[in-house]
Structure 1
């Protein structure tokens, strides 16, 4: 019995490491700098959505927060590491909390709601963080359109990837651990 528990812990840690790496790599792979916010648009949100909806809120939070913060560190956006860790971690948790990862269909009302609420949180979180960092919420408001594009693009990319992965034996066997 103890060996099974130890194997499960190793398995969970391995999956978590892979999810963190997926978020970081997707964030770093294609980035479009946004001068006004000293940030960038990327596709990492798609992997946060994947982590949270398929693997649950805890893995979504850790993968979203650490993977995104790691990308900021490695890309030189060090001033965003702490806000990103918090904002993307909460985003992953909220998406996983709302989502219906146990449904056979990936596209359903709860998962769609999870994407919308997670996206709204991310846009709001970066608006607040930007306002504090820049000392102006008016300047921070310029980040809203870019962040909306990022969330929408992440959701659109998540859908075909998530649908394909949900059909595999591996994801059905190991995915949800809420």
Structure 2
């Protein structure tokens, strides 16, 4: 990898991490049941993973979301968030072949990728909540709000992703990355 190419890559990673962090923090709808919040960061993780690939999705998802937790007063969740959101980005980027093909954005693979990432998030936070709260029963109360957060992120992901697809953003991304 040339110096110029590695600098470009580093800049893209940094911008993606910052975008996830900011989108997670800009709109936070508190959920008293979970002592957490619903946000827009999940849609960014999906967009980055689908358009840039699994490595970018994992880095942006994990680091950007964990940073948002730390900056928003949820530092006790940061390690769980780092793992869960990185896994979300990696899984979404791995399951969708949109980035590597001429297929349409609205596809079975993209839909499966987004649904699986919601499951990863819900199950991940259920495990994290069980560990932090010391009770599976208490952690189970977070499942509905985490599922709603995931579905909201998925809806926004498809709306923005469809718009990106219409303007052929993939062409610009690939030109910039090369």
1:46 pairs with 2:43: yes
Aligned-residue CA RMSD (Å): 1.7
1:133 is paired with a residue whose SS is: helix
Q: TM-score when scaled to structure 2? A: 0.91
Cα deviation code 1:79-137 (max 9, x no counterpart): 11000000000110011000112334111000100001111011000001001100011
Cα distance in 2, alignment partners of residues 144 and 170 from structure 1: 34
Shift in alpha-carbon separation, 1:142–1:103, aligned structure 2, 3 A: farther
- Paired residue secondary structure (2:37): strand
Q: Which residue of 2 aligns with 1:18?
A: 15
Secondary structure of the structure 2 residue equivalent to 1:67 = helix
Q: CA deviation at 1:169?
A: 5.7
Partner of 1:93: 90
Deviation at 1:21, TM superposition (A): 1.2
Alignment of 1:1-178 (within 5 A): 5-101=2-98, 102-168=101-167, 171-175=170-174
Q: Note the alpha carbon deviations across 1:7-39, whole angstroms, 9 max, x for none.
A: 111111111111111111111111111223221
8 Å CA contact 1:166, 1:172 repeated in 2: no
Which structure 2 segments of 5+ residues have no match? none
CA contact (8 A) 1:54 1:175 kept: no
Once residues 167 and 8 of structure 1 are traced to their aligned partners in structure 2, the CA distance between those partners, rounded to angstroms, is 27
